Amino acid sequence: MGPTRVRSSLAVLGTLLAIPSAGPVLAQGPVDQSTFDRSVRVQDDLYNHVNGTWLKNTPIPADKSNYGSFIALDDLSRERIRAIVEQAAATNAPAGSDARKVGDFHRAFMDTTRVEALGAKPLAELLGRLDGVSTHDEIAYAFGVAGTLGVAAPVGLFVGIDDKDSTRHLTTVVQAGLTLPDRDYYLKDGEKETAARAALVEYVDRLFTLLGDGTKAPGETVLALEKRLAEIQWPRVELRDALKTYNKFATADFSTKTPQLRWSTFLEAAGTPGIAEVNVATPSYFEKLAPLFESVDVATWKTWLRFKLVDAYATFLSPPFDEAHFDFHGRKIAGIQEQLPRWKRSVEALSGKGAGDFGALGDVVGKLYVERHFTPQAKARMDELVKNLLVAFGTSIDELSWMTPATKAKARDKLARITTKIGYPTKWRSYDGLEIRPDELVGNVMRSRRYEHERNTAKLGKPVDRDEWGMTPQTVNAYYNPSLNEIVFPAAILQPPFFSVDAPDALNYGGIGGVIGHEISHAFDDQGSRYDGAGNLVNWWTDADRAAFEALTKRLIDQYSGYEPLPGRRVKGDFTLGENIADLSGLAVSYKAYQLAKAGKEPEKVSGWSGNQLFFVGWSRVWQRKYREAELVKRLLTDPHSPSQYRANGPVMNLDAFHDAFGVKEGDALWKPPAERIRIW
């Protein structure tokens, strides 16, 4: 549940959790205490007190890199989608209908005999076209084509909402192209990073051997080139800076500034020819890429692009390619032991893997999912929860001691203009014109990726669709989008352990209430707070208020930077700041909303817990989760959310309500002196 904000300029949907973990928590009634570890005092470690036995006794499934509440709920969602997909595949729906497309895609994915017989032939045409490339102009064109097919190039392009004018769209270009999860894998010499680089070389060589390509030392060529790209790329903490990543240029001016990159050729191939302006998210990267692009010979770029193409489609090719892809990305980089069952991979390809990923036919599947698994009662209860959270957040703004009245008024205005989307969109995406065949798996994937790219670029010059969703309803997550000033809660997350119409209010407010509060708080985190109520990147703060805010956030950075989940590897407090603000403020506001919901009447104890205690139990169990070491290393470098135990324990140390509920006192591990407790919103 670690929502991150949805940035139009970097096309990263704010995810609530970054896909966490937990088991079916309501299996034994409102409070499943079989997960608890009574040897751990709640005053010392809320997370392990509530989840310790589960953590000790639950193995991570062999086909996963981490496991917990979010993953268990995602598995449930996948099982439900499987039933929808297999029914579509078994039904002789009319040709061209959405149901037929779903069925034919699944049939093609599950036809392992044909997939095996084809080998790499589905890529033969593209590989042949790449063989014919002989100039840097043609390489630039190939970069643009690659993006339309979901293949990484050194330039990423998408159309999003203009951060400074939320009524219009703007094309953004951003750094891209690395195969390893983060630039640090190329630039640091730790044991994990060194092993990852060696694995990349081995993987590239393995793919070229499977292709029958005699290119000399392709792995070393790819690694050397990607290291040069990593050296000029921005670190992730800078990529989340809304001000630094908004740099609007006249296209002609930026083309003159970096002529080696052949922008007109690239933009034509990317399907955005003739655009007058562009947001350059990472200007210094492109200024350094321009001479690098020219200095690297065409043969090297061709070797690299050949690898990127095969890597992007290897999982849809014959078993040797598929196994090589999993061995590298799954086993070597994430520590996963076994490949996902093929039916589950088909579901992922159809339905999407998570935030911002709609798969080939995500909304078709989503519409059927909602019809079967989302009730009007759940939506009504969520409406009530959201209303109470918004009221509580408004009260919190009024009570702030560090903000001046003028800025409070603007904060209240932004709060009042937040749009809430619950369950599913009011209108579904169309897939008219998308060809899906029962005997062309790679062709289906290519066509669907190109279709989604064209859907995105077609937004240019058209009004912003404020009804559009950035996630499917079957996604176990939530997000805040600053450009639309909206909070979005897909149907799939509105289930235990986050939410149940039958659960006590305390659990719902500690679970989904904390999620709602988290998403609202993203509107006011270190980056979301730079957008006004209309969704525009504009300064609505006084200098004194911003300075007071940053003094508080500096203290939160220091708190989380002190956490060391693995020896020598600490949480990046600056990189995770937005999510940590949202966790802290969201939980505080949800607790306040729970008090409003009680209306002065204290509920009866449940399983020995008072309502106020149960609220924090609900919060902690949401974060139940285990990681493989390789996955945790990767997340510490790439994930803007803190590891789960710190998401459970980190915020409560700052809340008077937690100290009062459990009698936390000086000497307890979760004690923090009142004067040192951080309150932001």
Per-residue pLDDT tens digits for 260-270: 999 999 999 99
27 pLDDT above the threshold of 60:
no
Q: Can you tell me the distance from the alpha carbon of 19 to that of 640, in angstroms, rounded to the nearest whole number?
A: 12
Residue closest to 296 by CA, chosen among 207, 227, 203, 233: 227
Q: What is the pLDDT of residue 595?
A: 96
Average pLDDT over residues 472-501: 94
624: left (phi over 0), alpha (psi -120 to 50) or beta: beta
For 56-78, the pLDDT digits (tens) are 999 999 999 999 999 999 999 99
220 and 161 both lie in a single domain: yes
Provide the 3-class DSSP secondary structure of residue 152.
coil
Q: Can you tell me the distance from the alpha carbon of 318 to that of 323, in angstroms, rounded to the nearest whole number?
A: 9
**Within-domain flag for 331:** no
Q: What is the pLDDT of residue 378?
A: 87
Q: Can you tell me the distance from the alpha carbon of 325 to that of 310, in angstroms, rounded to the nearest whole number?
A: 9
**Within-domain flag for 99:** no
Helix (H) or strand (E) holding 459: none
Q: Which domain holds residue 249?
A: 121-316
28 pLDDT above the threshold of 60:
no
CA dihedral angle for residue 260, residue 263, residue 268, residue 274, rounded to 10 degrees:
-140
Torsion sign, CA atoms 316, 318, 324, 330: positive
305 and 226 both lie in a single domain: yes
Question: 């079967």: which residue's tokens?
Answer: 372
Q: Can you tell me the distance from the alpha carbon of 678 to that of 666, in angstroms, rounded to the nearest whole number?
A: 17
Q: Can you tell me the distance from the alpha carbon of 345 to that of 622, in angstroms, rounded to the nearest whole number?
A: 26
Helical H segments across 276-375, by residue range: 283-295, 298-313, 319-325, 334, 342-351, 362-373
Angle, helix 376-399 to helix 577-598, in steps of 10 degrees: 100
Last residue of a domain, one of 254, 281, 316: 316
157 pLDDT above the threshold of 50:
yes
Last residue of a domain, one of 274, 297, 316: 316
529 and 627 both lie in a single domain: yes
Regarding beta strands 625-627 and 66-68, do their DSSP bridges make them parallel or antiparallel, or are they unpaired?
Answer: antiparallel
Angle, helix 218-232 to helix 191-211, in steps of 10 degrees: 130
- Give the amino acid at 568: G
4 pLDDT above the threshold of 90:
no
Average pLDDT over residues 327-355: 95
What's the CATH number where 290 sits?
1.10.1380.10
579 and 648 both lie in a single domain: yes
23 pLDDT above the threshold of 70:
no
74 and 126 both lie in a single domain: no
Q: Can you tell me the distance from the alpha carbon of 324 to that of 334, in angstroms, rounded to the nearest whole number?
A: 14
310 and 394 both lie in a single domain: no
Residue closest to 526 by CA, chosen among 196, 191, 225, 243: 243
Question: 């990267």: which residue's tokens?
Answer: 285
Q: What is the pLDDT of residue 608?
A: 87
Bridge partners for 155 per DSSP? 175
72 and 144 both lie in a single domain: no
First-to-last alpha carbon distance for the chain, in angstroms, is: 19
Per-residue pLDDT band at 30 (split at 50, 70, 90): low
Share of the chain above pLDDT 70, in %: 96
Q: What is the pLDDT of residue 607?
A: 84
Question: Count of domains in the chain?
Answer: 2
Specify the range with the lowest mean pLDDT, choosing from 347-356, 415-424, 502-511.
Answer: 347-356
Q: Tell me if the bond preceding 497 is cis, omega within 30° of 0.
A: yes
Tokens encoding 531: 């957008």
**Within-domain flag for 58:** yes
Q: Can you tell me the distance from the alpha carbon of 55 to that of 420, in angstroms, rounded to the nearest whole number?
A: 35
- Give the amino acid at 486: E
**Within-domain flag for 1:** no
Residue closest to 590 by CA, chosen among 532, 640, 651: 651
156 and 75 both lie in a single domain: no
478 and 406 both lie in a single domain: yes
For 378-399, the pLDDT digits (tens) are 899 899 999 999 999 999 999 9
Last residue of a domain, one of 275, 293, 316: 316
31 pLDDT above the threshold of 90:
no
Residue closest to 359 by CA, chosen among 126, 594, 78: 78
Average pLDDT over residues 204-212: 98
Kindly state the greatest CA–CA separation across the chain.
77
φ, ψ for residue 24 (rounded to 5)?
Answer: -65, 100
Q: In what order do the strands lie in the sheet with 486-490?
A: 419-423, 486-490, 479-481
Q: What is the pLDDT of residue 353?
A: 86
Per-residue pLDDT band at 24 (split at 50, 70, 90): very low
Q: What is the mean pLDDT of the chain?
A: 94
**Within-domain flag for 456:** no
Q: What is the pLDDT of residue 3?
A: 33
Give the Cα-Cα-Cα angle 443, 447, 451 (nearest 5 degrees). 170
Question: 């309501």: which residue's tokens?
Answer: 26
For 102-150, the pLDDT digits (tens) are 999 999 999 999 999 999 999 999 999 999 999 999 999 999 999 999 9
C-alpha neighbours within 13 Å on the C-beta side of residue 389: 29
Regarding beta strands 165-175 and 277-280, do their DSSP bridges make them parallel or antiparallel, or are they unpaired?
Answer: parallel
Per-residue pLDDT band at 13 (split at 50, 70, 90): very low
**Within-domain flag for 196:** yes
Question: 């590239």: which residue's tokens?
Answer: 204
Q: Is the pTM of this model over 0.85?
A: yes
Regarding beta strands 277-280 and 419-423, do their DSSP bridges make them parallel or antiparallel, or are they unpaired?
Answer: unpaired
**Within-domain flag for 325:** no
52 and 160 both lie in a single domain: no
595 and 489 both lie in a single domain: yes
Helical H segments across 489-628, by residue range: 505-510, 512-522, 543-561, 577-598, 611-622
Q: Can you tell me the distance from the alpha carbon of 320 to that of 523, in angstroms, rounded to the nearest whole number?
A: 46
Share of the chain above pLDDT 90, in %: 91
Bridge partners for 420 per DSSP? 487
- Give the amino acid at 354: G
What's the CATH number where 582 sits?
3.40.390.10
287 and 391 both lie in a single domain: no
**Within-domain flag for 359:** no
Tokens encoding 554: 């500096």
For 417-447, the pLDDT digits (tens) are 999 999 999 999 999 999 999 999 999 999 9
